[in-house]
Amino acid sequence: MKESNSDYKIVFGIVPSRRLGQSLGISPIPKKTCNFSCVYCQLGRTTEYTRKRQIYYNVEYIINELKEYLNIIDSSQYDIITIVGDGEPTLYLSLGDLIKRIKKIQDKPVAVISNGSLMADPQIRKELSFADVVLLNFDSWDEQSFRKMNRPLNSVDFISRYKGYIEFRKEFSGIIYLEVMLVRGINDNVESITKIADLIKNIHPNVVFVNVPVRPPAEQWVKIPDEKIVIKAREILDAQRMDYLPTGDFTSIKSNPTKAVLDIIGRHPMREEDIVTFLKGRKSISEIEEVYNEIIKNLKQNPKVQEIAYGTTRFFRIKS
Ligand code: SF4
C-alpha cells in the first residue's frame, strides 16, 4: 500500500458526503482549475482560470489508480464513487469515457459534482448522462447575480447554462440534485430566492438542497445568512437543508492518523470536531485525546497547513 503524500494523485477518501453517503472521490483535474471563481469556494480563489477542456491525466492512468485503490479497501466501506474536482470536473476532456470505465470495473453508482458551466454544450450533457447522479449548483437568478456569486469566465452566460439544465433534465433519467448556496447580502432575501425557485421549477431536479458557506470561503466578506431566512428559503425552494445533513465517518487508507488528516484537508477544510469524529472511528476512547493532541501539534508545525478561524469554529486546510 502506498503511504507517502505523493502516493494517490487522483483517487481519495473515503470521505463522508452530506448528500451521497460514504464517497470514494476521483479528482481528474489539478487543484483550483475552474471556469468559475465562486465567492464562497472552500478551495480559495481560482488560480487556474480556464475554459479549455483537457486530458490532465489519461483515463488509463486514473483507472489503474482506482483499481489499485479498490484492492486495498473493502467495497462495503463506500456507497458511491464521486467525480469531484479540486476544480470543475467537466473541464476533464475524457469525462464520459472515464465514467463508463469506472462503471465497468465496479458496481457502485457514479456521481459527478459540477458547477454546470458547460451545460449549454450537448456533448457535455451526453458525457454527464453516463453518470447515475449529477449534482449541479444554481444560486443566482440572472446574469448580474451569476457574475457576482460565481464570477464565471466571460464565455459562460447565465441563460445558456440555464437552458442547458432544462435540456439535460429532458435527456437524463438519473438523479439530479441542485444546490442553492445562500450568501448574506447577495441572495439571502425573499425576492431573490423566489426568483431562483421559479427558475428551478423548469429544471425538475429530484432534490433541491439549500446550503450556506459553513467552511472558510474564498472571500473573507462572505457570511452565513440569518437562520430565519435560511428556514424561509427551505420553504420557498421546497428544499432540504444541507448543513443539517449528518456527515458520517471519515475513512482513510492511511494508517498514520496525521497523514490521513493531511489527506482530507488537502481536499477540503476540516473542523477540529471533524478530527475527533475521524478518531472515534478508529481509536479507543482512552487513546483519542493523546492522538488528537499529537495531530494538532503536527498540523501546527506543518508549514503547508493553514489554520483559519471562521465564525466560532477553527478549521485546518492545506494552503493554496
Ligand atoms: S465552488 Fe466549485 S465552481 Fe466555484 S470556484 Fe470553487 S471549484 Fe469552481
Residue ranges of domains in the chain: 5-248
Q: Of the residues 29, 35, 37, which should be mutated to test ligand 1's pocket, given the most ligand atoms within 8 Å of the CB?
A: 37
Q: How far apart are the first and last CA of the chain?
A: 27
Predicted pLDDT of residue 248: 55
Atom of ligand 1 nearest to the CA of 35: 8
More confident residue, 284 or 244: 284
| pLDDT band at 256; cut points 50, 70, 90 | confident
Nearest protein Cα to ligand 1, atom 1: 41
**What is the reported pTM?**
0.86
Whether pLDDT at 6 is above 60? no
More confident residue, 206 or 291: 206
Q: Quote the cell numbers at residue 268.
A: 477540503
Q: What are the tens digits of pLDDT across the range 80-121? A: 999 997 889 999 999 999 999 999 999 999 999 999 999 999
Q: Of the residues 40, 47, 88, 149, which should be mutated to test ligand 1's pocket, given the most ligand atoms within 8 Å of the CB?
A: 88
Whether pLDDT at 246 is above 80? no
Predicted pLDDT of residue 104: 97
Predicted pLDDT of residue 262: 82
| pLDDT band at 289; cut points 50, 70, 90 | confident
In whole angstroms, give the CA distance from residue 200 to residue 239.
11
Q: How would DSSP label each residue in 11-74?
A: EEEEEEETTTEEEEEE--S-TTEES---TT-TT-S-SEE----B-SS-HHHHHHHHHHHHHHS-
Alpha carbon of residue 27 to chain centroid: 10
Predicted pLDDT of residue 186: 96
In whole angstroms, give the CA distance from residue 130 to residue 138.
21
Nearest protein Cα to ligand 1, atom 6: 41
* C-alpha 170 to ligand 1 mean position (Å): 25
Q: In the predicted model, what is the mean pLDDT of residues 183-212? A: 97
Tell me the fold of 5-248. TIM Barrel (3.20.20)
Whether pLDDT at 250 is above 90? no
Nearest protein Cα to ligand 1, atom 5: 37
Ligand 1: list residues with CB < 6 Å: 34, 36-38, 41, 43, 46, 85, 87-88, 115
Q: Quote the cell numbers at residue 25.
A: 472521490
| pLDDT band at 4; cut points 50, 70, 90 | very low
